[in-house]
Structure 1
Amino acid sequence: MSAFLEFHLIQNFAPSNLNRDDTGSPKDAIFGGQRRARVSSQCFKRSIRMMARDYDLIPPAHRGVRTKKLKALLRERLADREPEEAEAKIEVALGAAGLKIKEDGKTEYLLFLGEGEITAFASLIAEHWDQLPTGGDKKSKKDAKSALPPELLKKAKALLDGGKAVDVALFGRMLADLPAANQNAACQVAHAISTHRVEREFDYFTAVDDRGGDDETGAGMIGQVEFNSATFYRYAVLDLNKLHENLQGDDDLVLSSVEAFAKAMVLAVPTGKQNTFAAQNLPEFVGISLRHGVPMSLANAFEKPVTARLDQGLSDQSVERLVDYDNKVSAVYGSDNDRWLVLDITGRWPDGKGQRAQKLEALAEQARAMAASALGV
């Protein structure tokens, strides 16, 4: 049976520039015919990954690394070997798996690899050290690869299985020339959009030269930076069955991943221009819904933008809109087995609509239990 764990967040940010475009302006989008503030899904996904790493929500062995510096990482793990010989053998081993190293020592493109995959490559090289030749020019490297025993080639390619890395399992990866190593994401993350119409603002700033002389009356520097302030609707959905498949049927790791993702999703705050704005604002509302039919983003609750009122904040109104819209779409598309978990500090989510939590830790534990029940583990 399908089982989707959805995350619906209402989060109000003070003046900030969390996610910039190529001109330095805050990203935005037209939605419902009105301009909205926007933070890209990629920005929030990286924030989630960094939060999980920095707060040890995922064990190091089950983390992923996005890098072009795979060769250097393997050198670190083979530090006891002769450097030049190790580098040559690393290139041959990676070539056996279909990964090419450029002249600058980096891979052709960013790789998203699990720590387990990197460790396995280092172990393979150490185990088959004598079987791995040391190539020279391009032709000799190609000959070296073709001279490898078939079982070694098979082992090298089999290492690219995701390594049970949680963030690789969640967000997926694509290696254009190695389709067998691709992994479809178990998690989809929407671009966060403001629930209301937004206009860009400009901060004109000056900086004073601390060592300026008495005759220097002007500023040492002037400039301007764009910013906005917005109440965002954030949405993400986990396909629990796909996550179970990507993590190779490891029940405990799947449930730990759900709990860690719940915490990281809520606590993740983009780092853009934070030294300037310090917009460290956490969500006013977190709703986790278990859907057994199809996923249902509630973004259309804000197709008509929320408008400012003197007697009620944008966050409060946004939560009320979520309730009304979920009631509408769930009545048509939902299942009787769908359930909600809620952490609400606005007081606008109605009693009786789902299980409540007072702390994030409790919410994450409840999400884990909900996933366990849905998966039957």
Structure 2
Amino acid sequence: MATNRTIAEIHILQTMPPSNLNRDDTGSPKKAVYGGITRARVSSQAWKRPTRLKFRELVDPNQLGIRTKRVVEVLNKHIIDRMPDTDPQLSAEVAKSILLVALKGKKSKKKDSEILVKPRTSKDSGQNDDLEQSTYLLFLGSHQYDELAEIAVNAIASGDPTAFIKSSDVKKHIKAIAQNDRAIDVALFGRMVADDTDLNVDAAAQVAHAISVQRVDFDSDYFTAVDDVKQDSDEEGDAGAAMIGDVEFNSATFYRYANVDVDRLLDTLGDANATVQAVTAFIDAFSTTVPNGKINSFAHNTLPDLVVVNLRDTQAVNLAGAFERPIAGDIVANATKALVEREQEIDASYGTTPVHTWVVRVGKDTKAADQLAARQPLRDVLTELGDAVAARLVRE
């Protein structure tokens, strides 16, 4: 088996109180059948979004991307920031022209009006509804907008922006900027553009759907809302509820898993320091965030019972098989034992033993994880993980 790869992976056991983290189209908590048993489930995208939003606290915003349909508006703002006296209508037209070059693939049969379209929005939305939007959410890095804005400034200064942008050298430059992304979150989570596959970025991170380690029953919270004025006056002789309803919820201990292909991340970012920062930021954010579905109703702000971080040189290993048989009894204690046993047996059978393992845990129930590595605070783990990744990225 090849031993020249670098993969960082994270395994988490996290107990959630009554909550509705991730709803389906009927408002019910998502679920899955695993091992013939109904489990609570949280989709990967539901945990990726808070993870990505946490990056704003951990990473310089200039190293991150912007995911939006309002691409003309964003680029136009970058242009105006550089040329405050520019006619906003002119800068918007230049922004649109540049983005059409960036987004339209060589083989695309779409018209310009099908790539950037006028939005159908309310006049009271408070947004700039006059500017075209892309037909899909587009994930571009802040640096890309900066570089495209510089082209726009030069185009406006030339006196003939249309001719400037249509020149072959400028068009190649625009395409190169759009294709060469260096945003950390774009590199981690990827980008797919159907109209121009040259803009696609393969995600370096994989995030599994979280599933409960035990069988889960789903409950419903019946609630009422009282009309304060009606209650105080009680003129109608009825101080009852003005509204009634119900919200479904569950509670469970989840197994969460994700990994980062460090080599692929380095290929995309092209910088070892940025790669190290991306890996540690991902592990930090994935460990310490929760989806905010119905959070004001349930306040489910928990932190993991157990975090196991592995650095492997073979392949990524999801340990969900530890919970194919649902855990019973002391859930966290027995789930920890099952996780540890599964990792040890797989590594012994397939030669996938990590080159480094770190453990962050809370309480006596997670003590079995000490068989994998000594217990440490998350801050120390992130520091040591960063150092280990940096050492492996040194190229001879």
TM-score w.r.t. structure 1 length? Answer: 0.91
Match of 1:226 among 244, 248, 262: 248
Secondary structure of 1:184's counterpart equals: coil
Partner of 2:59: 58
Q: Taking structure 1 as reference, are residues 124 and 305 closer, same or farther at Cα in structure 2, changes over 3 Å only? A: same
Q: Which residue of 2 aligns with 1:295?
A: 316
Give the corresponding residue for 1:328: 345
Larger relative helix fraction: 2
The question of 1:164 aligning with 2:182 is answered yes
- Indicate which of 100, 103, 127 corresponds to 1:98: 103
Tell me which residue corresponds to 1:244.
266
Query: Contact between 1:259 and 1:368, CA under 8 Å: does it hold in 2?
Result: yes
Specify the code of the residue in structure 2 equivalent to 1:322.
L
Q: CA deviation at 1:25?
A: 0.5
1:370 is paired with a residue whose SS is: helix
* Equivalent residue number for residue 254 of structure 1: 275
Farther-moved stretch of structure 1 (271-280 vs 214-223): 214-223
**Distance in 2 of aligned mates of 1:210 and 1:229:** 32
State the alpha-carbon separation in 1 of the partners of residues 116 and 65 from structure 2.
20
Match of 1:286 in 2: 307
Q: In structure 1, what is the Cα distance between the partners aligned to 2:193 and 2:244? A: 45
Paired with 1:145 and 1:231, the residues of 2 have a C-alpha distance of 61
Question: Which stretch shows the higher mean deviation, 83-92 or 144-153?
Answer: 144-153
Tell me what 1:138 maps to.
none
Pick closer, same or farther for the CA change 1:171–1:325 going to 2, 3 Å: same
Which residue in 2 is equivalent to 1:369? 387
| C-alpha deviation, 1:132, in angstroms | 7.9
Q: Residues 12 and 336 from structure 1, CA distance in 2 versus in 1: closer, same or farther, beyond 3 angstroms?
A: closer
The residue aligned with 2:202 is 184
Deviation at 1:292, TM superposition (A): 1.4
Tell me if the contact between 2:78 and 2:145 (Cα under 8 Å) persists in the aligned partners.
no
- Rounded to whole Å, the distance in 2 between the matches of 1:146 and 1:130 is 10
What residue is the counterpart of 1:140 in the other structure?
A: none
> Which whole-Å CA distance do the structure 2 matches of 1:210 and 1:162 have between them?
58
Is contact 1:20–1:26 with CA below 8 Å preserved after alignment?
A: yes
Structure 2 CA distance, aligned partners of 1:261 and 1:119? 25
1:137 aligns with none
The alignment's C-alpha RMSD in Å is 1.8
Amino acid across the alignment from 1:123: E
Q: Which whole-Å deviations, capped at 9, do the CAs of 1:75-113 have from their partners, x for residues lacking one?
A: 212222101111111111111223532123111110011
By how many angstroms is 1:316 displaced?
1.7
The amino acid of 1:13's aligned partner reads: M
Distance 1:12 1:351, change over 3 A: closer
Tell me the residue number matched to 2:10: 7
1:139-154 alignment, distance < 5 Å:
148-154=166-172
Mapped to 1, the partners of 2:248 and 2:163 lie a distance apart of 53
Aligned partners of 1:201 and 1:148: how far apart in 2? Answer: 61
Candidates 91, 94, 100, aligned match of 1:89: 94
Determine the structure 2 residue equivalent to 1:139. none
Matches within 5 A, 1:13-162: 13-53=16-56, 55=57, 57-79=58-80, 80=84, 81-99=86-104, 100-104=115-119, 105-130=132-157, 148-162=166-180
In 1, the alpha carbon distance for the partners of 2:186 and 2:260 equals: 13
Number of residue pairs aligned between Structure 1 and Structure 2: 360
| 3-state SS, counterpart of residue 78 of structure 1 | helix
Name the CA distance, whole Å, in 1 between partners of 2:32 and 2:22. Answer: 13
* Residue 353 of structure 2 corresponds to residue 348 of structure 1: no
- Give the residue type in structure 1 aligned to 2:72: K
Q: Evaluate the alpha carbon distance shift between residue 267 and residue 132 of structure 1 in structure 2; reply closer, same or farther with a 3 A threshold.
A: farther
Deviation at 1:145, TM superposition (A): 7.9
- Could you tell me how far apart the structure 2 residues matched to 1:370 and 1:30 are? 38
Q: Deviations over 1:152-183 (max 9, x none)?
A: 11011111135311110101111111111111
Distance 1:122 1:158 in 2: 14
- The Cα offsets for residues 174-202 of structure 1, whole Å up to 9 and x where unpaired, read as 11111111110111000000001111100
Which deviates further from its counterpart, 148-157 or 98-107? 98-107
Percent identity over the alignment? Answer: 38
Contact 2:312/2:356, CA 8 A, preserved across alignment: yes
1:292-314: CA deviations, max 9, x gaps?
A: 1121100010000001x2xx3x1
Q: Residue 298 of structure 2: which of 277, 282, 287 is its match?
A: 277
Tell me the CA shift for residue 146 of structure 1.
11
- Unaligned residue ranges in structure 1 (runs of 5+): 135-143
* Contact preservation (8 Å) 1:114, 1:162: no
2:5 maps to amino acid? S
Residues 146, 159 of structure 1: alpha-carbon distance in 2 compared, 3 angstrom cutoff:
same
Q: Which runs of 5+ in 2 are unaligned?
A: 105-114, 120-131
Q: 2:355 aligns with which of 320, 332, 338?
A: 338
Q: Check whether the contact 1:171–1:185 (CA below 8 A) recurs between aligned residues.
A: yes
Residues of 1 paired with 2:21 and 2:288: CA distance? 15
Give the aligned partner of residue 266 of structure 1.
Answer: 287
- Distance in 1 between the 2:79 and 2:239 partners? 59
Given residue 90 of structure 2, which amino acid in structure 1 is its aligned partner? E
Conserved? CA contact 2:359–2:370, under 8 Å: no
TM-score w.r.t. the length of structure 2 is: 0.87
